[in-house]
Structure 1
Amino acid sequence: MTADFPPSDRDKSPQADADPVRIADALRRSPHFRSADAAPDGDTVRFTTDAGINYTLTLKPAEPTDDDLLPEPVLTEAIAAAILNHPGFVTADASPREDTITIQSRNQVRHLLVLDVDHGNAVAPEDLSTPAFDLALAADKLLASEPSDSERATAELLNYIAATWDKQDLPLREHAQALARTLRTQ
């Protein structure tokens, strides 16, 4: 008998670490899918695409390989996954042995990304954009020209979340980032 956990308690469930549940969770977080579900003790993930078509994924044992199992993703695969999490892209295929990624944007433009180590022009980690910095930048944009009361309140909220980024939970971070993205496109 499996226990049903409400969505808020799913992370506390010992079965939340089951691969089918993680796959369904990843699909639910993607803008390309309407819904996804999996039983923690099963081997099937059911999902619905944005077009309303239902599919199933069945987890089967992989064929034996001589490749080493990696304790973490190859960098090109991690980059491809991050790109796929953005709603502006529909594909991102990593070729870890070649250090390339083929991507396609939603407006059907394809690019080949080539990964290379940048030995010159080193950027200090503190100079790179972070999600918290992006929130603060969006707040500054709101305050730049005679903001309304609601724009001022939104900017204050974004600044607060940016200042307390490490203390915020994932859903709040994701909502704040979505708000900042929307404000940047206006």
Structure 2
Amino acid sequence: MGADAVRAEGAGADALDARTFSRVLEPRAAGRLPLGEGTWHQLARAYVWVQLISQGAVFLLVLAVAIGVQAFTGVPWPWIPAGIVLVVTAIGLLITPRQARSFGYQLRQDDLVFRRGILWQRVVAVPYGRMQLVDITHGPLDRGFGIAQLKLVTAAASTGVTIPGLTQEAAEQLRDTLVAVAETRRTGL
């Protein structure tokens, strides 16, 4: 990073870490992908609530439709597909808090490293010079909880990264830092 971008990142570290989890949780298995050196930043705690509300709404909707179809038609077969969806959604509800803590990102000298996953782990390093677009989005529920999603677009689709559940301040700070780095290098963006 350029000197100004490093100072901006250091000054904005409080914004990146405000209202977030304290640390990235690593899987305990011997074959895990290690975190490596440096400061890892986390998702906002509100991300868990947004996910639980969204998945809970799907769970209740599927349950209501299954009950309605059985009451209206009198046949029990709708419970087969509904039961599968309900079980998968319930498992999602149970693992969401742990899954959210496995997300993390790190600003390094030449790239941004993004990490996610418990069972299926993914670590992606996105070089600053390859970024073409930094996009912040948030839906109505996200706005209500003060979180946003930051999307980094690169020329290669496989290296594009979407960081969900950032506080609005962290998303704006991260966007500004990444744009400043790209401007100092005159590459990307």
TM-score (ref. length: structure 2): 0.22
Tell me which protein shows more helix as a share of its residues: 2
> Quick one: higher RCO (CA 8 Å, sep 6+), 1 or 2?
2
